[in-house]
Amino acid sequence: MAQIHRSIIDAHNDGLLRHVRNDYEHLGEQLARRNVDIETVRAQVAAFGVAIPSWGVGTGGTRFARFPGPGEPRNVFDKLQDCGVIQQLARATPTVSLHIPWDKCSDWTELKQAAANQGLAFDAINSNTFSDQKGQAHSYKFGSLTHTDAATRAQAVAHNIECIEIGRQIGSKALTVWVGDGSNFPGQQHFRRAFDRYLDSTRQIYAALPADWRMFLEHKICEPAFYSTVIQDWGSSFLAASALGAKAQCLVDLGHHAPNVNIELIVARLAAAGKLAGFHFNDSKYGDDDLDAGSVAPYRLFLVFNELVAAAHERVAGFAPAYMLDQSHNVTDPIESLMTSAAQVQRTYAQALLVDRAALDAALLQRVRLDAGGAIDPVGAYRASGYRRQAAEERPAVVGGGGGIV
């Protein structure tokens, strides 16, 4: 099956070209009025790419059912072909993130070539020790890298090292490690010992990393373990990444936090510590829903990008996040969802670029207050005024009283 023919794209574009040119020109004028150069923003957005997860082009499912779609990819070559179409049309996804063993194939050189033919390269490679494969000697039912049984841990370590070897052949520069290890009941797992075993296993994987590789540790609050997970949150992830060394960083999957957690703050903390590996973009309402990026909470995505653009703007040391989608398309055509999600990520990046940081930081709000007759520095002026001291003298303290909640 070939890619979509150029003439089809041209014919489609022909009908819309005039409007796009007019709208772009108008937007350029509008932004110029705000001292934003549209060409600069355009170049930054054009240089931005987000990786496609190979598993995202297949139809996803829930634990209740999966409803297969028509023309689903049968193997990694089919998946690459779908990724090629996504990149051909939307031009925002130049790389693919593989998942081993789901994407195992017999000839990695052939696969690398097939990707290049589609205009694609490979991003981080993902290991899988959260499910058992046929013929596997030791089961991961009760854990993998943190299993109490040394032979099971060794098998999981060997699998990750094999992923590095595969990644090396296809041009990946990072290994993403997410484990489903954890417990379903209080008392089932010794928290400290499980974390120690995780460190012991990941140290062996870390030692096998090529010099120019990074290791991405992905935390997740729950699922499939629903009482506790070993790498539950960014704190655990940060501890592990710090213990391992400079090449280990923390990957933030937007769906892997409790509801209402301030993810952009986590992003800022990790960026400041030089430990932000990158992202798995998706959206959610309740848990690891893996819905299309920006479809439920676009403002949350904006706030994340606001931190990213600020960190790049301020040249935070070691700031080089990898961007990937990680979604499950259960009811849509995965190609459509991935194209619109990539565009949504791109759009959000553009919006964050439009924020005038210098003005936001100082001048704008100060000027607004000054114009309105207020103080340039309200807190400074308030403290200098002695207002509170005077109020305390004029209003005697009430002794006792109820709670602070009214």
122 touching ligand AFD, by CB under 6 A: no
| Interacting residues of 51 by C-beta distance below 8 A, sequence separation 6+ | 93, 95, 96, 97, 123, 124, 322, 323, 324, 325
CB 329 to ligand AFD: min, Å: 12
d(CA 187, CA 122): 41
Residue 28 or 101: which CB sits closer to Mn ion?
Answer: 101
126 interface partner picked from ligand AFD, Mn ion, none, CB below 5 to 8 A per type: ligand AFD
238: partner contacted, choices ligand AFD, Mn ion, none (Cβ within 5-8 A by kind): none
- Spacing of C-alpha 385 from chain mean position: 47
Cis ω before 224 (30° cut-off from 0): yes
Cis? peptide before 298, omega within 30° of 0: no
**Binding flag, residue 257, Mn ion (CB under 5 A):** no
Nearer Cβ to Mn ion, position 296 or 375?
A: 296
Residue range at the interface with Mn ion (CB under 5 A); choices 30-38, 76-84, 109-117, 284-292: 284-292
Q: Return the number of the residue (252 or 308) whose C-beta is nearest ligand AFD.
A: 252
Residue 99 touching Mn ion (CB under 5 A): no
**Considering the complex, what minimum distance in angstroms separates the CB of residue 223 from Mn ion?**
8
Residues 264, 290 contacting (CB under 8 angstroms)? no
Token output for 310: 């600020």
Angle at 290 between CA 255 and CA 91, to 5 degrees: 105
Q: Among Mn ion, ligand AFD, none, what binds residue 123 when CB lies within 5 to 8 Å by partner kind?
A: none
What type of residue sits at position 210?
Answer: P
**Token pair belonging to 224:** 């499939």
- How does DSSP assign 347-404, residue by residue? HHHHHHHTS-HHIIIIIHHHHHHHHTT--SSHHHHHHHHTHHHHHHHHSPPPPS---S
Residue 288 sits in the site that holds Mn ion (CB under 5 A): yes
Task: In angstroms, give the least distance from the CB of 61 to ligand AFD.
Answer: 11
Q: How far is CA 163 from CA 10, 134, 243, in A?
A: 40, 17, 22
Closest residue to ligand AFD using C-beta atoms: 178
Per-position x/- string for 140-169, each x denoting binding to Mn ion as judged by CB under 5 A, each - no binding: ------------------------------
Residue 330 binds: one of ligand AFD, Mn ion, none (C-beta under 5 to 8 A by kind): none
Q: How far is the CB of 121 from ligand AFD (least distance, A)?
A: 19
In the complex, least distance from residue 270 CB atom to Mn ion, rounded to whole angstroms: 16
Rounded Cα–Cα distance for residues 185 and 164 (Å): 34
Helices 191-207 + 150-170 axis angle, to 10: 40
- Rg (the chain; Cα; Å): 25
Among 82, 123, 181, 218, binds ligand AFD (CB under 6 A): 218
Cross-strand pairs, 283: 291
User: Residue 162 corresponds to which tokens in the numbers above?
Assistant: 């094999």
* Closer residue to Mn ion (CB): 123 or 326: 326
Note whether 253 binds Mn ion by CB under 5 A.
Answer: yes
Stretch touching Mn ion by CB under 5 A, among 74-82, 189-197, 226-234, 278-286: 278-286
Q: Are 195 and 230 in contact (CB under 8 A)?
A: yes
Instruction: List the single partner that 307 binds among ligand AFD, Mn ion, none, CB under 5 to 8 Å by kind.
Output: none
Token duo for residue 159: 């699998």
Give, as ranges, the residues between 50 and 69 that touch ligand AFD (CB under 6 A).
55
8-state DSSP, 395: S
Stretch 143-182: interaction string toward ligand AFD, x if CB under 6 A: -----------------------------------x----
Closest CB 242 distance from Mn ion, rounded Å: 21
Q: Residues 293, 301: contact at Cβ < 8 Å?
A: yes
**Does 280 contact ligand AFD by CB under 6 A?**
yes
326 interacts with Mn ion by CB under 5 A: yes
Choosing from 82, 103, 123, 253, the residue that interacts with ligand AFD (CB under 6 A) is 253
DSSP secondary-structure letter at 148?
S
Read off the tokens for 58. Answer: 């297949």
Dihedral sign from CA coordinates of 85, 86, 89, 93: negative
Binding partner at 292 among Mn ion, ligand AFD, none, C-beta below 5 to 8 Å by kind: none
Point out which residues bind ligand AFD (CB under 6 A). Answer: 55, 126, 178, 218, 220, 253, 280, 288, 326
- Using CB under 5 A, list all residues that contact Mn ion: 253, 280, 288, 326
